């Protein structure tokens, strides 16, 4: 009877901790288990938590048959409004190497994520994440469609089973005076340890006036301090035009949360 009473008290204590954290009253950001998001291209329904920040500073590389494109640095700032809304601002500095080297500020992106379903019983979360991309007058890109303003209208879905998680995203990208496209992605995550998450994804796009593209990569998130994580991913294109499809791409960055 004594052991049973102890187990009941332990179970009650665990339940109270879960309720406090789930309600957002506990200390620190109320983070949703994430598979997508940096260093992956596929986004997930996670948000930083009310009045909390998530800032990612990274360097990326994309090498094709025509040349190499760097985002160095790529700044991505996210702010939580309530437990289900996230505001985003992203600005890259581009360095493009083809016949020569050109440098300029890439297209700034603003977005608002709303996680409208958060079912704790099934561990299923769903969000929408509209994002507007402003055309930069000093972007160095030769690809005109990539430098035009655009509106992205995606939906993200995530489901967790213990240490495993799956995340999908699909949406439509409306390009101003350009070729609209459908975007899609599938990301998988595994919590190898309390501080290390192993990641994989395939992310692609398809448009009427240009060939489709599919890129697959492997990545990881390693927590190196209480509010700081190291992010990394490498991959390559598996479907797409031979000249434009990435032969190698890389993401390396730091994520700060407070």
d(CA 146, CA 141): 7
* Residues 17 and 142 both lie in one domain: no
Give the helix/strand (H/E) hosting 168.
strand 164-175
Contact 94, 104 (CB under 8 A): yes
pLDDT at 119 (0 to 100): 92
Give the chain's length: 258
* Residues 138 and 252 both lie in one domain: yes
Total domains present in the chain? 2
Exposure string of 127-161, with b = 16+ CB inside 10 Å and e = fewer, is: bebebebeebeebbbeeebebbebebebbbbbbbe
The DSSP bridge partners found for residue 183 are 171, 205
Phi, psi at residue 195, to the nearest 5°? -115, -10
Contact 117, 148 (CB under 8 A): no
* Residues 204 and 192 both lie in one domain: yes
The parent domain of residue 14 ranges over 1-28
* Residues 180 and 210 both lie in one domain: yes
Query: Cis ω on the peptide bond leading into residue 233 (within 30° of 0)?
Result: no
State the residue for tokens 């379903």.
117
* Residues 4 and 79 both lie in one domain: no
pLDDT at 4 (0 to 100): 46
* pTM (two decimals): 0.84
* Residues 112 and 184 both lie in one domain: yes
d(CA 256, CA 100): 35
* Residues 103 and 206 both lie in one domain: yes
User: What does the pLDDT look like over 154-176, one tens digit per residue?
Assistant: 999 999 999 999 999 999 999 99
Contact 113, 47 (CB under 8 A): yes
* Residues 173 and 248 both lie in one domain: yes
State in Å, rounded, how far the first CA of the chain is from the last one: 44
pLDDT at 146 (0 to 100): 67
* Residues 67 and 22 both lie in one domain: no
* Residues 15 and 35 both lie in one domain: no
The tally of CA atoms less than 13 A away on the side-chain side of residue 220 is: 10
Q: Which residues, other chains included, contact 175 with Cβ-Cβ below 8 Å and sequence gap of 6+?
A: 145, 148, 149, 150, 181
CATH code, domain with 253: 2.40.128.130
Residues of the chain where predicted confidence (pLDDT) is lower than 50: 1, 4, 15-32
pLDDT at 28 (0 to 100): 39
Query: Cis ω on the peptide bond leading into residue 73 (within 30° of 0)?
Result: yes
User: What does the pLDDT look like over 202-254, one tens digit per residue?
Assistant: 999 998 777 789 999 999 999 999 999 999 999 999 998 888 899 999 999 99
d(CA 18, CA 115): 20
* Residues 239 and 147 both lie in one domain: yes
* Residues 87 and 6 both lie in one domain: no
């Amino acid at each position: 009877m004594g052991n049973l009473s102890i187990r009941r008290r332990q179970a009650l204590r665990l339940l109270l901790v879960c309720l406090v954290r789930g309600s957002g009253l506990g200390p620190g950001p109320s983070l949703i288990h994430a598979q997508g998001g940096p260093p992956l291209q596929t986004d997930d329904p996670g948000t930083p938590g009310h009045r909390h920040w998530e800032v990612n500073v990274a360097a990326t590389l994309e090498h094709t048959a025509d040349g190499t494109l760097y985002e160095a640095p790529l700044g991505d700032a996210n702010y939580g409004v309530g437990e289900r809304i996230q505001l985003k601002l992203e600005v890259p500095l581009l360095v493009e190497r083809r016949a020569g080297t050109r440098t300029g500020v890439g297209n700034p992106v603003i977005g608002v994520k709303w996680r409208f379903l958060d079912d704790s019983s099934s561990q299923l979360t769903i969000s929408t994440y509209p994002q507007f991309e402003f055309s930069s007058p000093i972007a160095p890109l030769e690809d005109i469609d990539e430098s035009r303003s655009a509106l992205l209208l995606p939906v993200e879905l995530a489901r967790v089973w213990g240490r495993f998680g799956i995340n999908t995203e699909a949406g439509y990208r409306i390009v101003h005076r350009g070729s609209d496209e459908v975007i899609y992605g599938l990301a998988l995550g595994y919590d190898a340890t309390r501080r290390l998450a192993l990641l994989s994804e395939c992310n692609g796009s398809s448009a009427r006036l240009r060939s489709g593209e599919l890129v697959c990569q492997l990545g990881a998130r390693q927590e190196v301090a209480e509010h700081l994580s190291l992010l990394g991913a490498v991959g390559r294109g598996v479907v797409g035009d031979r000249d434009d499809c990435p032969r190698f791409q890389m993401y390396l960055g730091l994520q700060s949360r407070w």
